[in-house]
Homo-oligomer: A and B are copies of this chain.
């Protein structure tokens, strides 16, 4: 079907920053991953396929963001662009160009200027959606690997919310919710005391979900 595209804002946490995946092609400059939709293809499936094709990675979390219909490229035809946003744990998609694939890069918020203005707005919308969902859903955990330390989780919240949190209060509240299970393992960093590792108990979270904003910090 002419004029229907899907685009995706893929986000990850890297080096204490929220970063967005962008592609570079000589002909197009920097842009978000996008692609066309098959005539009989469901939209979400198209978005998944486009990400898989262009990045060679599966995305575990993908949600619809917004549909733009006023984007009129130079050519006469109007383009409908259905945008999704996705979250991946740090390091799942490795940046850097390969073979005939376009060059990939994680852009931090200060580097978004490389994108076309319209795409910058899409990314901002994705960021504010993520920020909003952080308090009442478990999206945050989609940005972490299977097991993680409390410090990593806290840093995630601090980065996305853009404010510092008190370590003791954060730990107390998140542990009292009972949504984390200690794995019994520890992770040793270069220096300092090793940190206990935890995994996310999705079932417990969902049982609490009705009384919203349980993760508001």
Contacts and interface: CB of A to CB of B under 8 A. Distances in A.
Interface in A74-121: 77-78, 80, 82
Interface string A62-81: 00101111101000011010
Given A2-B1, A64-B67, A67-B64, A78 B213 contact: no
Oligomeric state, in copies: 2
Interface string A180-217: 00000000000000000000000000000000010010
A4 interface: yes
Interface stretch (A18-26, A37-45, A150-158, A168-176): A37-45
A68 to B, nearest CB: 8
B82 A67 contact: yes
12 contacts: A1-B3, A1-B77, A3-B4, A4-B80, A40-B78, A43-B67, A43-B69, A43-B70, A46-B69, A64-B66, A80-B80, A80-B82
